[in-house]
Each structure stands twice: as structure tokens, then as C-alpha cells.
Structure 1
């Protein structure tokens, strides 16, 4: 359910030209080992990439076996050192002491020839010019580590407790009561609100803010671990369901110098959410966004990091439905009294300039498009660097925004989707150099697997550094196109992807599978390589199917009204739009409307069963993975954000429940779950099966023992072979 895709691009034509195919009959055929992320050949079938980190304003390629300085204007590389060099300089004698790869090496100090590396027991700063280790710090048995380059202190978690080891190697235990019930230094609120970690260093590494999450009031869901050779054991999951008691979160601040911890004086944390901690440039003030439990009121508050006192409420926002502006404030590097706040208050996520008194100075960006992210600042020219959908709803492009005038300058070619935003874990932070002089522009287009350019922000011109070859060039690629249809409201454009076999014959009739997600926070179609085609879709096309994917209203990155169209009635408007997609498919002479299938996972599993039981004469076969069956049993933050509570929205919850629809099932339906799913609990699928038994309907069921919400490793290959075979057996 938590698939946070942050990619987008748009084609304004009704049907885009298919990616050309030639000589398909002479080319290789795919296997799932090629196309699935758990496959043995998957790595060779994805476009090559380059891992690049900043050493001040210099760019360094970090490969597994070497690090090389990149000339940003010519693309030439100069070898700095190799993995063998590093292991020789640190005196590694065995596997426990060898550094295994340099891909995750970092260069934390501009103009100092120091590289930060780790083995199984230590993190080390190695001077590659002097060929020696200049600093070591123990790192064994540490989880959720957070290194502060300025002070060389590291925060980490062990046995549920939070520790800090300072730059001199002194270990301080910050908490002593950590347990499953009381969690320190990890993500809060089950990874909602854009929170991906639980510790936050101030700029000079002298103070650490951290989350403490009290879960004592949250009931355990009884998952079971069947792996022991003897009797299975309980593996319970703390799971707060919608409308029920949820965990309570507070924020601590540890001072490294004084070895003291204080907690922000937020008051009673019950039914309140404190989102994404941010620091002032001087490291003395903490900024929090607070949401009420309904998530329709938000305030930006400033707290004294020394005393914990609340200094001021700088901004408040209210909306009749909900608010999803989660990012922290970003201070201007040249003016510590001004910061940028992101908000959807005008209907689209945009940037607003504030001062520390809470006065809004001006709106920096505006228009009917979404700003995906603020990457950082061009300090020399006093500009903000953003990714936005201004060029197209299914693109993400780089722009510079002049802070004084609001003028936007396009920095890339105006096409494609940029890998800078792929990861919510902060990967995009690496795109911009520390002083904002350069950007690493890693992007793809529907027919471009990957290009990497260096953009010089003095001139706003890019230089090509790397072009990836098409890893599918020797294979019979499917025919892939994209376009738009109108939503059920008759006016909103919805983007789709259509996938046909490589040897497609327009005179034939093809069985067709609709792949659906349909839920919030995610989108499936954009202008990335192959329009963000999933490998399984290519495999299905090879097996003689057409695959259709449509992003309905309620999906992400199209503005507040588009996303809130499904509010309090999840599944209703989404189905209307998906059926418009079916109407479109029926206009295509090569689609066999008597052989329509549907497949989706998570929210898509919910949509699969919903569509099959609401329109039982339309879909002949379906495969539903990890499906939500009743929103009463889903997570409190997500469920209440989009549905309200069961107490205040009984009609919406009743309409969204699939239990009463079990009797409507006519086609072949396979339900698949991970036995240890901590996101969509097994209770959902099991209760639906029980209703089917009572109603006399006959779904099929498969479970992956020990697996969570998504199948891991090679089991994913097994999963997708099973899904494929089900459609072959019953739809072809």
C-alpha cells in the first residue's frame, strides 16, 4: 500500500506513437529471470547507471571497485584509488575487516582528501593521498545509523534503544527503556507523512533530534513465524487500525557536549502527528509540522532545542478534507531569517517564502502543476532548484526559481522523468552540489533508457557524461504506447499505457489484462523509459496478451482536487474511471472484450476484487495480491486520511467493504498474500474467503509463508510466474 512513486510526465495526444519494433522474430525472448527484480539476470536487463557523490563541488564516481574524479565539462574520469588500495591502507586481514565495496563511499569534507568507508566492524576516514586511516569509529551491531560529518558523531539503534558515539569514540546510551512497546530513533507513524528515518542531526552535529514512539496502547496483530524447525512462534505486529487507539510520538533532543536529553514541550501527544523535523541554520531551533488526527489542520511550530519550550506558531492551514504537505522548511543559505514552505493551499504543491516571524513574503511558484520537490539552492545566483510537472503532468523537469522575482528557468531538455526523485529516502539530495553550482541530471525518456548530464548553474548548460545502452536491444521488445482518455467526470484527462506483443497483428483479437493500482500516493504511467513499463507487462505481452494501465482520479501528483476526488469513498470514483478505460479498450478492434482480465497488488488488489465483484460480467479472470477487503482493518493514518474514521463515515466504510460483494463473484479469481504481511493484514483476505464460503463462490488462494506485503528476492519470480500461468490457464 505504501508505494510512494514520485515520477511524472505527460503526452497531450490521444495516442502516442508506439515505440518502433523491427526484426522481432529474430530476437531473443524474455524470461522472468530477465524481467523480474528477483531474477538472476535482472541486473543485466536494466539500464546501466553511475553512482556519483559530491566532494565539495567536485563529482566522484563511486564504483564497487574504485573511485574516480569526474571532469564535469568533459566527462573524463581520473582514478583516485581502488578497493584494493583502501583495504591495503586500512590493514584489512580478513573478511570482517575488509571493505566490500566502494559504491557507498562518501566524501564529507570539501578540499580534504578523506573518504568515509565501512567494514563489518568500523567506519573509517581514509586519507587517499597520505595512504592511511586518520580516524576510526566502531560500527558493529548498529542499526539505523546516522553519521554527522561536522562532529563525526553517529546515532544508532541497538535492541530498540538509541545510542550516540561521539567523534572521540565515547558511547552514550540515550534511552534505557526501549522495547517493542517504546521505540526510539526509527521511523514514526508506520512510515506515513514522508518520514523515512527517526534521527535528525543539527548542522554542526552537536545536537540530535529523535522520535520516541510509545506503542503500549496499540494492540498486537498475531502474525506467526513458521520458519523454526519445531513449533511455530508468534511474531506479532503493532497495528493501529482506523478509528482505534494509535501510538503517541514525542521528540527528544540530545546534546552531545552536555550529555543531556530534553523533550520538546508539545503537550499531550494523543491524537496528534508531529511531522518531519527541521533545524534552523544555527542549530538552536527545531521546526515541526503538527497535524490533528483528522489531518485537515496543520501548524508549523518553532521549538527551543535547548529548553524544549515552544517559541511560536508560524503558520497554520485548514482544509475541509485533508492536507498532505509534509516536507520540512528549507532556509535560504544566504539569509538565515527566511525559509521556504511547501503547501497545496492553492490546489497544487508550490513554494512560499516566509520569514522567521511567520510572515509570508510571497508565493514563489504558481500554476496548475505540481512542484515535486525542492532539491536545494544555487547560492551564487540566489535561486531555488526544483523538480516540477510544469512541462507535462507525466514528466518531471528541473527548473531554477529566482527567489527575488519568481522567474523560472528550465534547466533540462523539457522531456522525460528524472531519477533525482526516485527515492523518498533522500537520494534526490545528492543531485545538487553542496554550494549549488552543479546538478547531476539523471533522467530517462520513453525511448531513452538513461542519460546523465552535469548542469553548470553558472551558465544553465548541461554536458553529457553518460549514456546507457538499451539492455533490451537483442530482445523482442513489446510495442508500448501512451495517451489519454477522459475520466468519468467527462473533463479530466487520464493517462494510460498500452502494451502489445512484439509481433502484434491488428487483424487478430487478443486477450487483454488491465493492470491496476488506483490508490493515492502512487502513479503508474509517466514518461520514463518505456513509460515506466513493469517487467511483468513485457512478459505478458510476449505470452500473447495486451496489457492496459490507467491512472484514475485519486492517484498522485495531479493536484489536490484530482487526488481528493475519492475522499471518504475509496474505490467508487476509481472504478468509474477504470471502467472508462474498459470502454476505451472495447473501441480497439484487436481487443477481445470477452477475454478481459484484471490484476493488481495492495490497493490494486482491492481494486481487482472490487471491479470483479461490481462488474462480474466484464472481467473473466483476476489476480488480487495483498488486497484490502475492508478499510476498518487498515492503518489509522492512511485509512483516516482518505476515509475519515469508521465512526464518522459509516456509509463510506460500508460502501468500500468487499465482504458483501463476495456473493457476486463469477469469474476466476486468485487471491495471493504474504503470510506475514504487516501492511495489509492477512485478516483481510481470510475474511473475504470466509464470506465466499458462505456465499458459495469459489476463489482460489495462495500464500507465501514468512513473506511481508511484497515478495522478496527470487520468490517474486515464482509469484509472477504463478500470476502469468493463471491468466494463461483461464483467459487465453
Structure 2
């Protein structure tokens, strides 16, 4: 066989192999491209070690393994579920302060996004004794600082379990479903302030502070749960929509010695939120962050644990809103570290214990994205930021005085860190658009990489078989002059002489980011699958998205869906003018806030977009919860035009293209009511549309074959209409 013929045969063979390596929805959502990660990594405080929750596939067991930071060597298996026949698989775990006992969560049963009940086991590490704590599932069990007790919630009340005597003391007795909740957040706090446990131990283990929620006057929302039963059930829960009554919250301190409970007097506030509460390092000083309903005025309170007297230590105001974080960190003398956007970008500030500003630690036209901690030995602050561009993340350390800054990461992409207790070492997780997540052990002093823990090389090699397209980053400048971070995925056999259809994806919610230099999400493989089918996929982060400063993020205030929709339409116009794009074939997709956006875009941009897919969309902000919506819109009573001028319901008559509307009936977050009202508006306007309802599915629409069916349906819709 001559060389030319041999080359031709090899070429044909390679094309056959390549043709076989097409991405499918089934392979994506069955985990074919999943990275190897370090699950439930806990950095221990008493030793220079860390633990990881591992699943032993061969033995079908879960185990908590102990590793040394300096060597990365596995030292021991603390507990293996296979050695305890009566204990199910371990879902999660927490240590007591001495790291001699473990609380193990098993058989977790989700409630809402973050909350769950579980069976809990107490494990004494030195004695290797395992004890099931109760005969029923509980919430948020938490060790006291001295390790002698466990506080927990059950059926809306708080309890304390004494480990030595095995006795339980009930702290509250008025808890009642859909009326009173003690120590656990109501639905809207959990969803929008992102915490569940609303109680905390004082550092001397003598007091417990907790928030009480009186939700008796909060309007109820009911969902039908079909569950393949002859008679469906109705699930009813409290859900305050924009402008409606919220829970009345109060702050209480329970003294375990005297059994006395005091309520903190917050009568000078009206219609307020207790967005955070935690004890300071002073065992008799409790901190609380009180936020007004507009969420543009925040008081940091210090409260006397004995008298419950309070004082305002710090006040922050903003013309738009204040983001609540968990970055408040107390030093030994009760001075504290705080993050704020008050100079236009999110930065770190240092205050003394009276609330007097000592120093702005970080400065510049970039954002702090994570606060990792403070090393009191060296007076050093550790953080993650966007100093290398808003789509990247770097890890840094700097003095508390803001001097001697050192980069602890040098690769451009997304860098994260887990530090050892003594801040001598850190495990760096790095990924970029071209590099699957890599875990390495690094030394803090030199920032030197000591060892690779996991580099996902097997996944990287497997992906070579698919000859995937690359995600290219660029800055898209609209005709109005707005500069938007964007990425584009072109077919691997892209030919600039051809005209391609374009499928746009976005989320666009306040402070969000979809254009980031990090490894593929699961959905990225779907976009690449579409590119294999001849589509160009584009994503642009419009105004209102995050990490480019407060002005860019907060421009959408009082007008959610105005500037964001303008930017997506304007971006589509720019893309449509590319010589290789068929401007008559541009579609747009989004989920949740992104579904709200996709719906608006095909209506207000009906001469630009040919199709739109909206999954679980907010259709009118009047239907969404109070905390999120009013943060950006105030109430419907105060800002009716802001709600109505940007609601897809009011523009249904403008529909020209193909529109697919998707929702789950058990969505406790964005209620299916939104899609039903959108359908109603389209029917009244005599507009044809497509829809898909998923029985008993929540906001995530998953379980069994659900995701596969969903993404196949969307793929078919794109193929048939774009």
C-alpha cells in the first residue's frame, strides 16, 4: 500500500472514531464528565491535619479519613460505616472543639434548599464508641464549645442534650408548624439569607442565643403533591411574597445555668430582619446584624449576654442595598474584620472592638470574593479576589495593615484555597477553561507547590477523544457602549465562510456571574454538544451581574429586567452582525432568573430572537419572595411601574417566535403559578407556545431520568425551530 493511500485510510479511520465520540445528553447527565473532587474536606484546628469523606466503591461504605497536611499521607480512617452494621452511609459530619467526638448525619431528608432532617450518631473517636442519639430525625445539632452538650432543633423547638448524663433539656415549648419557629430559619430566611441554624453557643458554653420566628401572619402558599396517589396531598407553607407580611422576628438569650431566657429589646426597629447573629470571642457579648426591610441600612449590634442591653457598633448605608456575608471575623481582643462595598468595590476593613475603623486592608478597582481567615501569629489576612480580572480568581495574603501583599496563586483561572490550622500550608484547587480542577499542596511561606493531590488527568485524556471545541473569552461592546464579559463556543469544524445559528445562554441575576475562567459545568457539555450539531453558543454577562464593582452591579435597582434585557438584545444584535452568523436564527435560554430574562427577550426583542426556552421562570416579581425581590425592587406598593414594565405577562401579545415554557409543580422557590400565569397571558393573546410540566419536581427539576428527558426535550426544540 502506498503512503498516500495509507494516509487516506488512516484519515477515514480517524473520522470514524471521531464520529463515534459525540456528546449525548445521556452521557452528560449520567456523570460521564464528572471531575474527581475532595468531598467534605475539613481542616482540623487542633492538629496540622485534615479529613475527607470518602466513598469506598468496592466495599460500598463511607469513611472519614485523616490526612497530614505536610505530607498528604493518610494517617488513619477515623470511622468506616462498614464497621458499624446498624449505621447507614454517612452524609456529613462535624467535630467538637477538641476534635475528639464526631456528629454523623445519616439518612438525610431534605426540606428546602439548605435545610434537612437526619438521623444523628455520636462517635467518640478515642473510645471508638458509636451512639445513636435519638429515635427520630432532628435538625442542626451543634456541639457546645466545651464539648459537653449538643443543642438541636426538633419540630420548631430547641433542645440541649447533655452527653455525660444522656439527658435532654427543652429550651422552648411554643414551636408550631406554620406559626412559631425557634432557632431554625423560616423559608425566606433560608433561601435568601442562606442560613438554617438560627441559634449559637456562647464561648463559655453557658448561654444559647436564638432567633424566634413568628410567621403566624405570613400568607400561606399551597402546592399539590401528586406522588402517584389516588388522592394527591396538599403541602402548605408560609411564603411572604413581595409587599406581604414577613415573620416577626425576635432575639433571645437562654442561660443554661439559671434556665432564664431574656429577649433583646429591638422595639426601636420596625419591619426588620435579623440577617446574622453570632457570639463574639467575649463570652458575654453577642453580635447581631439588623437590616431594615429595604435592606439599605444595616446595624451591627453588640449585646450584653447578661442584661440583653444593646449598642450599635457599626452602621452601613447604601443607596441600593447591602449584601449580607459571613465574613465578620472576631480577633482575640474582639476587634473585628468586616467586608464592605462602601468605596464602590468589595474590600476588607478592620475595626476595633468599639467599631472604630482602624484600617482599610484592601483597596483597588477589584473585588474580594472570599475571605479565608486571619493568622494572629503573623497578623496576616488571607483572601480570594478578582485582581487578575473579573472572570478570574486569585488567592492572596496581606498584612492586617494592608502591606506586604503576596500572591499565593500564579495561574490565570479560578484559584481557591483550604488552609491548614496554623496557616503553614494550603490545598489549592485550580481550574480554568482549559484545565480540569487540580488539587495541590502548597506552602504558605513561599507559595511553592509541594505535591499534586489530584489533577483529573484521566478525565482530560478521555475528553481528547471527543475533540471538543474551546470556550473563547472576549469583551462584547454594545452599540450603547456597554462592555460585557462574554464567551463563545464555535463548532470544531468552524468555517468563517458559513452562516451559523446562535444559541445564547445567560442567567443575568444581580451579582451573578456566568462568564468565568473555570472548568466546565455540567451544562457546558450540553453547549458543546450543540456546537457539535452546528450551533454557535454565546454567553454574555450584562449589567447587574457581579464582580465588576457596585456601580455596574446595582444599576438595575428598582428596574429588574430593564437593563439586563437591553443588554441581551444589544448583544444579540452585535453577534448577529458577525459575518459568520445567520441573524435570523438566534435563540436564547435561561433558568429561574434566566428564564425571566429569556421570556422578556423573545417578547421585547421579537425581531431579534427566533426561539426562547424559559425554565422555572419568574414571570412577575409580585409572585416572588419578599427578601430577594424587595432588596432590588422595594415593594410593589412603592414601585408598581418597576414591577409591571418588566413583567413578561404584560407583553405576551408581542410573541412572534417559538417559545418553550418549562416548570416543576413542586417548585417551592419560583412557584409554578408563574408559568401558569404566563400561559394564561399567552392564551388570552391567542399566541401559540410549547410547554412542559414536571409533576412533583422542585426548582432543580431532577431525579431519575428527569434531567435527561428535560435536556433531550430542549435539544429537540432547538433542532426543530432554530
Q: TM-score range by the shorter chain?
A: 0.7 to 0.9
Return the alpha-carbon distance in structure 2 between the equivalents of residues 183 and 257 of structure 1: 24
Return the alpha-carbon distance in structure 2 between the equivalents of residues 437 and 637 of structure 1: 41
Q: 1:226 to 1:26 in 2, by over 3 A?
A: closer
Q: Give the Å deviation of 1:488.
A: 5.9
2:35 is the counterpart of 1:34: no
Which residue in 1 is equivalent to 2:721?
Answer: 730
Which residue in 2 is equivalent to 1:13?
Answer: none
Which residue in 2 is equivalent to 1:455?
Answer: 442
2:508 is the counterpart of 1:511: no
Return the alpha-carbon distance in structure 1 between the equivalents of residues 658 and 641 of structure 2: 29
Q: Give the Å deviation of 1:183.
A: 1.9
Which residue in 1 is equivalent to 2:272?
Answer: 272
Contact 2:161–2:167 (Cα < 8 Å) also in 1: yes
49, 54, 70: which one aligns with 2:43: 54
Return the TM-score normalized by structure 2. Answer: 0.88
135, 146, 149: which one aligns with 1:150: 146
Residues 19-418 of structure 1: pairs in structure 2 closer than 5 A:
25=18, 28-36=21-29, 39=30, 42=31, 44-51=32-39, 52-55=41-44, 56-65=47-56, 66-75=63-72, 77-81=73-77, 87-88=82-83, 92=84, 94=85, 97-98=86-87, 100-101=89-90, 104=92, 108=96, 117=104, 122-127=120-125, 132-133=128-129, 137-138=133-134, 140-148=136-144, 150-168=146-164, 169-178=166-175, 179-188=177-186, 189-227=189-227, 229-267=229-267, 270-310=270-310, 312-327=311-326, 329-332=328-331, 335-418=332-415
Q: Give the Å deviation of 1:405.
A: 4.2
Contact 1:35–1:539 (Cα < 8 Å) also in 2: no
Give unmatched runs, 5+ long, in structure 2: 1-13, 57-62, 108-118
Structure 1 residue matching 2:55: 3-state secondary structure: coil
CA offsets, 1:177-220, max 9 Å, x none?
22222122323424223435323333454433322221111111
Which residue in 2 is equivalent to 1:598?
Answer: 588
Residues 289-688 of structure 1: pairs in structure 2 closer than 5 A:
289-310=289-310, 312-327=311-326, 329-332=328-331, 335-419=332-416, 431-466=418-453, 467-469=455-457, 471=459, 472-487=463-478, 489-490=480-481, 492-530=482-520, 534-688=524-678
Return the alpha-carbon distance in structure 2 between the equivalents of residues 155 and 535 of structure 1: 44
Return the alpha-carbon distance in structure 2 between the equivalents of residues 68 and 468 of structure 1: 21
Which residue in 2 is equivalent to 1:427?
Answer: none
Return the alpha-carbon distance in structure 2 between the equivalents of residues 701 and 135 of structure 1: 50
703, 712, 717: which one aligns with 1:721: 712
Give unmatched runs, 5+ long, in structure 1: 1-20, 421-430
Contact 2:28–2:522 (Cα < 8 Å) also in 1: no
Considering Cα pairs closer than 8 Å and 6+ residues apart, tell me whether 1 or 2 has the greater RCO. Answer: 1
Return the TM-score normalized by structure 1. Answer: 0.87
Q: 1:27 to 1:79 in 2, by over 3 A?
A: farther
CA offsets, 1:469-495, max 9 Å, x none?
2523333423321111125651x5311
Q: 1:228 to 1:33 in 2, by over 3 A?
A: closer
Q: Give the Å deviation of 1:727.
A: 0.9
Contact 1:488–1:577 (Cα < 8 Å) also in 2: no
Contact 2:478–2:574 (Cα < 8 Å) also in 1: no
Which residue in 2 is equivalent to 1:15?
Answer: none
Structure 2 residue matching 1:50: 3-state secondary structure: coil
Contact 1:250–1:264 (Cα < 8 Å) also in 2: yes
Contact 2:416–2:430 (Cα < 8 Å) also in 1: yes
Structure 1 residue matching 2:528: 3-state secondary structure: helix
* Backbone CA RMSD of aligned residues: 2.7
Contact 1:24–1:475 (Cα < 8 Å) also in 2: no
Aligned length, in residue pairs:
680
Q: Give the Å deviation of 1:533.
A: 5.9
Contact 1:672–1:702 (Cα < 8 Å) also in 2: yes
Q: 1:488 to 1:463 in 2, by over 3 A?
A: farther
Q: 1:502 to 1:156 in 2, by over 3 A?
A: farther
CA offsets, 1:477-531, max 9 Å, x none?
23321111125651x5311121223343433322211112111132111111148
Q: 1:71 to 1:233 in 2, by over 3 A?
A: closer
Return the alpha-carbon distance in structure 2 between the equivalents of residues 199 and 495 of structure 1: 41
Contact 1:277–1:286 (Cα < 8 Å) also in 2: yes
Return the alpha-carbon distance in structure 1 between the equivalents of residues 314 and 102 of structure 2: 41
Q: 1:379 to 1:226 in 2, by over 3 A?
A: same
Contact 1:524–1:532 (Cα < 8 Å) also in 2: no
